[in-house]
Amino acid sequence: NQLEQLRTLKNNLTRFMMMYKFALEELETKIRILNDEFHSLHEYNPIEHTKSRVKSPESILRKLSRKGVGDSLSSIKENIRDIAGLRITCSFTEDIYWISSMLQSQEDITVVEVKDYIQNPKPNGYRSLHLILQVPVFMSDRQELVYVEVQIRTIAMDFWASLEHKIFYKYEGDVPKRLLDELTDAASSAMALDMKMEKLHKEIETIKLTDVTHNTTALEK
């Protein structure tokens, strides 16, 4: 009957959305392990923070109609690959590539797509490394390969993207030219800051290494 059908639909939908939550939890654990291991070896955390979200049903529907694809669960699963989103904010640009390669080399992860907006920033100045991954999720009666979009950026890239996002929404996409120019200019400043911070960080690492070598040699004498 109709009530039974509704109940089945609700259960299917709940399980569908839960799959994305589980995939995010798995990835977050992987990231925490990498961060803790890195910290114990190098005495600093490459990851400042992570943030995950499951896309809202409204946003999924908007994207479906923008892409002009069907709204069955199998179509949503295949066509909307950022239902599960994980954003990783790092200290330095080189940490972004380290985390990305560590994730990509894990056996249970499939790399579907890599978009490098750091090597190739968007015309507005947006920079970030995007990975579309597939993560296996084991449930009581089946295994699902779940798409997750991972965005990896520095604090400066994240600062810029959050402000740009707010401005874009405030003006509903029709941002005045003066503000667009200022945003592009701010993106260059953010890039310059990233380069300067990374240079300083490398200098400090070299000094730390020289100190260790010096102390070890002194101990051996």
b vs e for 150-185, b when ≥16 Cβ sit within 10 Å of the residue's Cβ?
A: bbbbbbbbbebbeebeeebeeeeeebeeeebeebee
Nearer to ligand 0O2, 175 or 197 (CB): 175
What's the closest the beta carbon of residue 188 comes to ligand 0O2, in angstroms?
15
Contacts of 147 (CB under 8 A, 6+ apart): 77, 81, 82, 83, 84, 112, 132, 133, 134
Contact 66/46 with Cβ under 8 angstroms? no
Q: Which of residues 119-178 bind ligand 0O2 (CB under 6 A)?
A: 122, 124, 126, 130, 161, 164-165
Nearer to ligand 0O2, 38 or 84 (CB): 84
Nearer to ligand 0O2, 38 or 152 (CB): 152
Nearer to ligand 0O2, 38 or 86 (CB): 86
* Helix, strand, coil % over all residues of the chain, rounded to 5: 60, 20, 20
Catalytic residue among 149, 198, 203, 220: 149
**Which tokens in the block code for residue 108?**
């249970």
Contact 118/129 with Cβ under 8 angstroms? yes
Contact pattern for ligand 0O2 over residues 79 through 118, marking x by CB under 6 A: ---x--x-----------------------------x---
* Residue 37 among the catalytic residues: no
Strand partners, 50: 88
What's the closest the beta carbon of residue 95 comes to ligand 0O2, in angstroms?
19
Q: Which of residues 7-66 bind ligand 0O2 (CB under 6 A)?
A: none
Say which amino acid occupies 105: S
Provide the binding-site residues for ligand 0O2, judged by CB under 6 A.
Answer: 82, 85, 115, 122, 124, 126, 130, 161, 164-165
Residues annotated as catalytic are: 149
